[in-house]
């Protein structure tokens, strides 16, 4: 499977139409280059909501059902699987930091609500931890899984996916230069070819 990983510079207070035009250009370019999947980072549409006023956040949340439908349409239009970073989703009265996975027919094939939240800022104050079961989904007959950002610090989440025979784990993440929290964790990376 040919995978396009997008390093998307999140810009604060950018008009939604401009954001979606930028995203569409990445999707289109990836599709024309024969990638089967494109993955974007956490919070890539607007950046962290810490930088917005309440009225702006309400507008962002109001637009998100349209944004999810838009991703569905682009996946189908460009015949590409999309891991749409994360989108803050309102379910009833609760907010979740959610990753949506769309297949190349535009169907949502997996949804993951971030379980391990950043212990400060907007996420700590307003986002609810997900309680969903981690599951493996297939893209091009490959068992895939999703974790979000700081969930990479929790080996038990990887073990849950390994028990389901995961082959690739995508981890959309937003890492801020101002975060000393990540520096306290000692991570080792094993690359397997």
CA distances from 96 to 49, 84, 123, 145, 171 (A): 12, 14, 9, 18, 16
Predicted pLDDT of residue 175 = 76
154, two tokens: 């929790």
Which residue stretches of 114-174 are H helix? 121-126, 155-163
Domain at 3-131: CATH architecture: 4-Layer Sandwich (3.60)
CB contact at 8 A, 157 and 149: no
Predicted pLDDT of residue 186 = 52
CB contact at 8 A, 144 and 136: yes
Reply yes or no on whether the pLDDT at 177 is more than 70. Answer: no
Predicted pLDDT of residue 9 = 82
The domain limits of the chain are 3-131
User: pLDDT tens digit string along 136-166?
Assistant: 999 999 999 999 999 999 999 999 999 999 9
CB contact at 8 A, 126 and 106: no
- Confidence band (pLDDT; 50, 70, 90) for 86? very high
Query: In the chain, pLDDT over 70 holds for what percent of residues?
Result: 91
Predicted pLDDT of residue 181 = 53
- Confidence band (pLDDT; 50, 70, 90) for 84? very high
Average pLDDT (67-89) is 97
């Amino acid at each position: 499977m040919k995978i396009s990983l997008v390093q998307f510079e999140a810009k604060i207070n950018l008009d939604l139409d401009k954001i979606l035009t930028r995203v569409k250009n990445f999707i289109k370019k990836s599709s024309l280059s024969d990638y089967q999947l494109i993955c974007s980072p956490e919070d890539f549409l607007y950046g962290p909501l810490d930088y917005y006023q309440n009225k702006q956040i309400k507008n962002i949340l109001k637009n998100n059902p349209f944004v999810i439908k838009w991703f569905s349409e682009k996946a189908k239009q460009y015949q590409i699987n999309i891991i749409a970073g994360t989108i803050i989703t309102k379910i009833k009265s609760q907010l979740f930091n959610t990753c949506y996975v769309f297949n190349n027919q535009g169907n949502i094939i997996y949804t993951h609500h971030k379980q391990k939240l950043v212990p400060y800022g907007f996420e700590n104050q307003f986002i609810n931890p997900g309680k969903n079961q981690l599951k493996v989904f297939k893209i091009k007959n490959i068992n895939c899984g999703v974790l979000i950002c700081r969930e990479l610090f929790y080996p038990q989440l990887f073990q849950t996916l390994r028990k389901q025979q995961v082959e690739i784990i995508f981890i959309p993440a937003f890492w801020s230069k101002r975060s000393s929290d990540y520096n306290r964790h000692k991570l080792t990376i094993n690359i397997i070819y």
